[in-house]
Structure 1
Amino acid sequence: MAARDDLPAMPLLDRLLYASASFGGNVLSRSRDLWLIYFYAPPPDADIPRRVPVLVLGALLLAARVIEAFDDPLIGWWSDRTRSRWGRRIPFVLFATPFYALFAALLWTPPDPGQSALNAAYLFIVLEAFHLFSTLSGGPFESLLPEIAPRSQDRVSIVTWQVFFGTIGAFVALVVSGIIVDVAGFQAMGVTMAVLAFASRYIGLAGAWRHARRDVEPARTDFLQAVRSTLANSQFRAFLPTFILFNAAISLLTSALPYWAAVVLLGGLKPEIARVESGRELALQLGPLEFGVGVGTAVGLLTGAAIVVVLASLPLVYQLSVRKGKAWVYSRALLYGSLYMPWLAFMGFIPGVDPFLQALLFVAFIGVPMAAVYTFPNAIQADIVDYDYLLTGQRREAIYYATQATLEKIASALYPAVLAVLLSLGASAENPLGIRLVGPVAGLACLLGLVTFRAYRLPDQVTPEAVQGRGLSVKRA
């Protein structure tokens, strides 16, 4: 393993191209997390119609995620066993990406303008198609990382650039999407995000094309054995629940922001396109200036504040990871999230301070743990794959990413249901209890993740000597 660092460096341009795909991935996933529940089940005072009852929507999203999750290990196992002139991963990315973008756009075009069973059925079918092609394209693409970048230095470089491009993508998804919604509507926003994701994925594939190995012997384990041996990896079991819970906490907060803006900040009044206009009912006052604020723009400003903190935190996060290690920084981010997120329940309660300014400050500092969520999972997963190679003698990147995706999707299916239950406790201007409970629930998820991560012991450089020095076995099964 140490000899891998003596290999030729991956050119910077190719690293940048491959890493840039995280822009499109975040554009699509974060905008969907932010707006999909609100689009189909807005609060009663919103200026868009309800298309699906909120509890039905929660159950539908849960069922869709659970059903869809089981194709991930099958596709990962298929990719690991594929032999082609383009290698094991590229054919999947090449042919599935157009359908991935198409069904992403169709999520925002329900057939009935009002609430109906037809809309529920349409959403379920389109979601299943979107999830299938997302897995066919995204799973093999992510699995390219350990393959195209065997050198530790190149992996660190790629992951760092992925955070940079992913943060820009998150900014577009969480800030620009709201402005597009206010100005042009949800359909225009959905198409824009889908086109950006489509272009970004192909640009990323261009960076990996020359480096994707064609000489790797396909894995020969059967499907059930592949899944069992993956789950038998103690370090994978230590990391996976942590990643799922951490990501679910961020997704839960993200999905709740439109409700927070519409109900708590704007008091249930009907929003319009954001614009500067003195004397309006919905206004943000900054000194002598008064800004009219609609739901989309309010959410954009809140998430934009968090993104600024993510960017500001990246140099510190990177330097700490160099000095202390990825796992050390990741665990501290979990601790921060578990202690900080519950305080979001008190946004707007500070007397004498504009509630919107309070919200900006409270939400901004979610960016600190978000920086860790964006930075470390891919790098930690690559280390786990290297450890698996020590144990099995096979390169099985795809089954690891796929198994992670399966369990993540099952778990992430729970957060819309959790949000739906919380909203049922109160999601109106008169009773916002459910909205205010989102922060404490997200903090609890981070705390549970911190507890499970205590069992993770892999060093940053995975070699037999370093692994044994941490008390881990390298005996092949």
Structure 2
Amino acid sequence: MAGTGLSTNIKLAYASPAFALAVVGIPVYVYMPKLYTDVVGVDIAVLGALLFGVRLFDAVTDPLIGLWSDATRSRWGRRRPFIAAGMALVALSLFFLFTPPDTRPTAAAVWFGVWIYVLFFFWTMATVPFEALGPEITFDYHARTTLFGWRDGALIAGTLVAAASPALIQALFGLGADARGEREKFYWMAILYAPLLLASGAWCVASVSERSGVSVAACTGLLRGIRALGRNRPFWVLLASYTISAVGNNLPATLILFYVQYVLESVRADLFLMLYFVTGILLLPAWIALARRVGKKWAWLGAMGVNSGAFTGVYFLGPGDTLLYGLLVVASGIGFGATLALPSAIQADVIDYDELQTGRRREGLYIGLWSISRKLAAAVGVGAGLALLGASGYTPNRAQSPEVVHMLRVLYALVPAICNLLGLVIAMTYPIDETLHRKIRAQIDARHAVPSSRRA
């Protein structure tokens, strides 16, 4: 993934928090719901409602933190103070969320509700400024693709580690498969993940300098700031396409443990997750190379088509079809890495378009809104997916009815394919290519050069 103008140390330092947050995020999104329903005893519908509610909470905090970091002036920059504090506080709140007390289901639900809100607030404090830092590291069209390829490649690598780590921790510490073993497994995850969060945040903050001479956006208020984005049509096209696709993509992430256990009647969900992530990270450099030849947009569309087209076949599988499932997972994983990295690189270009229109760098606001769409998509995936599963008659730790199995097939395979198809159609109208972006940057640079020449 060689890039232009950025050292390997800068790319690795910027990518490192993405790795750490992914290592933590997969247990939060994939493994923790099953811990709280099947071990702690929280009702699945209550859990789904709490997870949906915290995403609505994010809908407010994400752009507010983004606006706050946009308007921040400090000797350490706009983004780095938030990254340093946020990563430390994520580590702290993660420990409490992963170590629930052995208590009644109602009290456990309250515990979960409190700490999931605390965790997600500090997660926003770290991730929105961290992601907002990326678009200002380089303004080069292709160097951005490479930078975000490193960042999202690290995210996939962290996800791979996260997928493997529960089984590794269980084996390393000799933990049982019973409720006590599950609790101890999450305890050790919290203990081991905290130093990783702290170290990656420190490396990024110490190594990645913020750009000087940036036109800092004034803190204008959330609604006024959002209204000011109305003229940025490329952003809204990108956001709509990404959000619809993300709704579908979050359903498999939420339901894979349920699907593998109750539809395929297998216990190897960890193996399938590893196949998917390994394929995604190995093929990501090829997608970045393709984006240099055909453009970010067309490479992204191709990745979406491959990713969703292959996965549709999963709907038709049943008990014992693990080999076919593994093949479809690998085929779908071919496009996985590109569906993460390329939209991020495209988003940096629409932020430049906003600077051309407004004269301000407002990465925080844009990343905040982007984060809302990503988290609301996950909320629909978790909240609606688990609620529909519960409504169809799901009962933990027993063979499921045909209605539940059918619902799992529909939610896990068909709905994601439809969402990706709709997202692909919308993305075809995105207008900024390399030539247009070069013109946008030239006009911005010319505007910045005018005051200097007059002063001279």
Contact 2:237-2:430 within 8 A present in 1 as well: yes
Q: Is 1:323 the equivalent of 2:293?
A: yes
The equivalent residue for 1:175 is 164
The equivalent residue for 1:446 is 420
Please identify which structure carries the higher helix content.
Answer: 2
Match of 2:213 among 201, 211, 215: 215
Cα distance in 2 for residues equivalent to 1:451 and 1:216? 36
Q: Which amino acid aligns with 1:187?
A: Y
Q: 1:347 to 1:460 in 2, by over 3 A?
A: farther
Cα distance in 2 for residues equivalent to 1:197 and 1:178? 21
Q: Is 1:301 the equivalent of 2:267?
A: no
Match of 2:376 among 410, 413, 416: 410
Unmatched 5+ stretches in structure 2: 176-184, 443-456
Q: Is 1:16 the equivalent of 2:6?
A: no
Q: Which amino acid aligns with 1:158?
A: L
The equivalent residue for 1:118 is 107
Q: Is 1:379 the equivalent of 2:345?
A: yes
Contact 2:44-2:387 within 8 A present in 1 as well: no
Cα distance in 1 for residues equivalent to 2:40 and 2:414? 27
Cα distance in 2 for residues equivalent to 1:251 and 1:179? 25
Q: Is 1:455 the equivalent of 2:421?
A: no
Match of 1:133 among 111, 122, 128: 122
Contact 2:132-2:363 within 8 A present in 1 as well: yes
How far has the Cα of 1:328 moved from its partner? 0.6
The equivalent residue for 2:445 is none
Cα distance in 2 for residues equivalent to 1:464 and 1:322? 14
Cα distance in 2 for residues equivalent to 1:403 and 1:163? 19
Q: Secondary structure at the match of 1:85?
A: coil
Q: Deviations over 1:426-467 (max 9, x none)?
A: 544443222222211111221221132122111135547479
The equivalent residue for 1:247 is 246
Q: Which amino acid aligns with 2:341?
A: T
Q: Deviations over 1:81-130 (max 9, x none)?
A: 1111111111111222211122123222222355x111111111111111
Contact 2:55-2:376 within 8 A present in 1 as well: yes
Cα distance in 2 for residues equivalent to 1:467 and 1:219? 19
- TM-align CA RMSD: 2.4
The equivalent residue for 2:31 is 35
Cα distance in 2 for residues equivalent to 1:256 and 1:435? 8
Q: Which amino acid aligns with 2:192?
A: T
Q: 1:376 to 1:181 in 2, by over 3 A?
A: farther
Cα distance in 2 for residues equivalent to 1:466 and 1:407? 26
Q: Is 1:98 the equivalent of 2:88?
A: yes
Q: Secondary structure at the match of 2:234?
A: helix
Q: How many pairs are equivalent?
A: 419
Structure-1-length-normalised TM-score: 0.81
Cα distance in 1 for residues equivalent to 2:415 and 2:71? 41
Cα distance in 2 for residues equivalent to 1:193 and 1:219? 35
Superposed, which structure 2 residues align to 1:128-277 within 5 Å?
128-181=117-170, 183-184=174-175, 185-208=185-208, 211-220=209-218, 222-223=220-221, 224-266=223-265
Q: Is 1:396 the equivalent of 2:362?
A: yes
Contact 2:98-2:190 within 8 A present in 1 as well: yes
Cα distance in 1 for residues equivalent to 2:160 and 2:434? 29
Q: Is 1:25 the equivalent of 2:21?
A: yes
Q: Which amino acid aligns with 2:6?
A: M
Q: Which amino acid aligns with 2:269?
A: V
The equivalent residue for 2:49 is 59
The equivalent residue for 2:387 is 421
Contact 2:92-2:194 within 8 A present in 1 as well: yes
Contact 2:141-2:437 within 8 A present in 1 as well: no
Match of 1:83 among 62, 73, 82: 73
Q: Deviations over 1:368-389 (max 9, x none)?
A: 2312222212211111111111
Q: Secondary structure at the match of 1:413?
A: helix
Cα distance in 1 for residues equivalent to 2:369 and 2:156? 25
Contact 1:108-1:190 within 8 A present in 2 as well: yes
Q: 1:463 to 1:319 in 2, by over 3 A?
A: closer
How far has the Cα of 1:187 moved from its partner? 2.4
Cα distance in 2 for residues equivalent to 1:307 and 1:464? 34
The equivalent residue for 2:451 is none
Contact 2:250-2:382 within 8 A present in 1 as well: no
Q: Secondary structure at the match of 1:348?
A: coil
Q: Deviations over 1:44-92 (max 9, x none)?
A: xxxxx35211111111111121023201111111111111111111111
Q: 1:456 to 1:194 in 2, by over 3 A?
A: farther
Contact 1:340-1:443 within 8 A present in 2 as well: no
**Structure 1, 449-458 or 132-141: larger mean CA deviation:** 449-458
Q: Deviations over 1:164-200 (max 9, x none)?
A: 3222111101223344356542322344344433322
**Structure 1, 99-108 or 75-84: larger mean CA deviation:** 99-108
Unmatched 5+ stretches in structure 1: 1-7, 43-48, 268-294, 469-477
The equivalent residue for 1:471 is none
Q: Which amino acid aligns with 1:96?
A: G
Q: 1:403 to 1:466 in 2, by over 3 A?
A: closer
Q: Which amino acid aligns with 2:57?
A: I
Superposed, which structure 2 residues align to 1:465-476 within 5 Å?
465=439
Contact 1:139-1:398 within 8 A present in 2 as well: yes
Cα distance in 2 for residues equivalent to 1:195 and 1:402? 26
